[in-house]
Amino acid sequence: MGQSLITLHGKAFQPYLSASDIAADIDRVAVRLNADYAGRRPLFVVVLTGGFMFGTDLLKRFTGECEIVFIRVASYEGTGTTGQVQEIMGLREDVQGRDIILVEDIVDTGTTLSHLLPTLQANNPASIEIAAMFFKPASLRYPLTLTYIAREIPNDFVVGYGLDYDGLGRNLPDVYVAV
């Protein structure tokens, strides 16, 4: 991994996962997606901003035909969720009859997905599955089914690989945990 300790907005973070660990996790998810969607053309809906790195790396490993769209929502402030989802940029594609793979950077409370899923389901897709880079099962507050999880992590605040701390750290190839 890169550095041993980083500081963002005066908050210290220590190394947690290396870029190579993350890549191996994504490889495992991609193998399953490729098998499950062989011969189909899913629509990957990547949740911005955090999901951009995972979405990019996952889609580079997807070998079938697919389409990609992006939506942007926000529910975080500092190191905690606000508990409310503000939809910033919505989905404009017709999803009726489509296989949807919702791509998230991290699922902790489930607030974002609990807001997005009913909206997507109201448009009658053939299926909706969730692919998340990280999942914090101890934080989950809503009943969700996560089909593709790259890695379960404890209920710690992490930054890097698309995850930020008040806008900083998304560009880090490794993941760091708050100390």
Which residues are the active-site residues?
108
96-129 residues labelled b (16+ CB within 10 A) or e (exposed): eebbbbbbbbbbbbbbbbebbbeebeeeebeebb
Residue 68 in contact with residue 44, Cβ under 8 Å? yes
Which one-letter amino acid corresponds to residue 34? N
Query: Half-sphere exposure of 6 toward its Cβ, with a 13 Å CA cutoff?
Result: 23
Residue 16 makes CB contacts below 8 A (sequence gap 6+) with 153, 156, 158, 160, 174, 175, 176, 177
Report the C-alpha gap between 95 and 92 in whole angstroms.
9
CA distances from 103 to 59, 126, 165 (A): 10, 17, 20
Length of the chain as a residue count: 179
